[in-house]
Chain A
């Protein structure tokens, strides 16, 4: 494995670099707020002739995803990026992209939804896409956003999957913060993703196919089952390409990353950048003799239920931190998945759900420390476990 020069970059830059190295055939994107610099950087690569991508500027995010679906169905390798209200405006096409089995790769800088008007970091936008059929990856760092983006193309295009992949990073926290990063060589990435051969392109007169057809309930349900199976079946594929890339770049890949989970009494389960803060808190708590740990799914759809349950099986109490709410439900999105996974595995540990860090609200170390300290009361049943808003 080659030693690479470390440099500073934001998560957005790193995702743009990964996409430059892959050099997809088409990128369709809407270039105005809340778009990120991923697309801005990519437009520069196009203008400077660094990529051969057909860059399509459109009049809305709705059109951006429509153009991506069309290009992908035609047989192109397609990538794009969005965030916040932009992703929300794509909602209709997200389902179409998954239902038509178009292997689009889209980066999302996870951000809030209005109102009040806000485009800062949280997972409200991306959780709106969770049932659409897309594969969803969550990065903790800018470096991981890069790695996740590279593997996304392989996952999406694999014939066992053929689904769009959303490669996400936390808005502002990871997307706009500068961190120490490394890039693999362009050719290494190109070799890893390989030449794209579309499975069923429209533009092939030797094997004519139709895409996006009408379907009655009888066949519609079969298609939807096929999407579910493809998504659920993608877990080993995600792992396979994640591990293959880890082998090349030397940075580990696990579907579910754990820290201290084996012997932890108190666990936090969370997605994305918050896991780093939790690990930081755990190190300090361990020095006091408190057995604390962290469980972080790196892939959220399909949900790695067995892996999460296995990681949680020894805990006395668990806190699930959700950076988005599911208003009207007893649990926010991640917690609903975690509780379901534990229930299926016959694990009856008490789980406390917190909604935290909405709309760019800061998550100080002290707040996460409180979560761990309060888990003792959750464990002995003296604290209630109804959903709470952290810091409120």
Chain B
């Protein structure tokens, strides 16, 4: 059986984590993979901490449960680090991608994880404000995820975004989203 990639998303409701979880899944599907994407349903209040999940595999996915041992964790809001154990169950050699203006070292210390965990930081909110003009870090963070983990190639992410946004949004908005992905891909720092 080929490798199953499990991604857990941590965010606050309203930041678009579910959309991002689906974007990554849809991108992988575009590349021919089997996928799963789902939120962990709870009280739906804007600002409440939430989790979402993405699974990617070359084989049909049989698991139908929450992801408790992810190889990748994405954090869309660094204020969650104070209240949520985002690295809980993270597999050895796993990766954490964060939307933050903290440095890799600062995050590593805050999370209390060693060098075996790859930490990647990007100011996805700042990039979103610059490009999309709203603090919706979900699209840019996928660019960072692509660079750091390679789970989905950048060109496929953009192809998928075009497919989704093409029907609904003005060209200006589409360009802003694509630019945000490119910028996060370039600006992400990791170690």
Contact = CB atoms under 8 A, between A and B. Distances in A.
A362 B26 CA distance: 24
Interface stretch (B35-43, B97-105, B109-117, B134-142): B35-43
Contact of A176 (B35, B41, B62, B68): B41
Interface string A361-372: 011110000000
Contacts of B46: none
Interface in B24-63: 25-26, 29, 33-39, 41, 60-63
Contacts of A172: 38, 41
A274 B64 CA distance: 7
A178 interface: yes
Contacts of B39: 176
A66 interface: no
Interface string B11-23: 0000000000010
B136 to A, nearest CB: 20
Contacts, number: 64
A178 B61 CA distance: 11
A8 B62 contact: no
Given A178-B35, A179-B36, A8 B41 contact: no
A174 B63 CA distance: 11
Contact of B65 (A178, A283, A362): A362
A8 B64 contact: no
A280 interface: yes
B36 A276 contact: no
Contact of B62 (A178, A277, A362): A277
Given A172-B41, A178-B22, A360-B41, A8 B66 contact: no
A7 B64 contact: no
A147 interface: no
Nearest to A140: B64
Interface of A: 6-8, 120, 140, 170, 172-174, 176-180, 273-274, 276-277, 279-280, 283, 360, 362-365
22 contacts: A6-B29, A7-B29, A120-B41, A140-B64, A176-B41, A177-B64, A178-B22, A178-B36, A178-B38, A179-B34, A179-B36, A180-B33, A273-B64, A276-B61, A276-B62, A276-B63, A276-B64, A280-B62, A280-B63, A362-B68, A363-B65, A365-B68
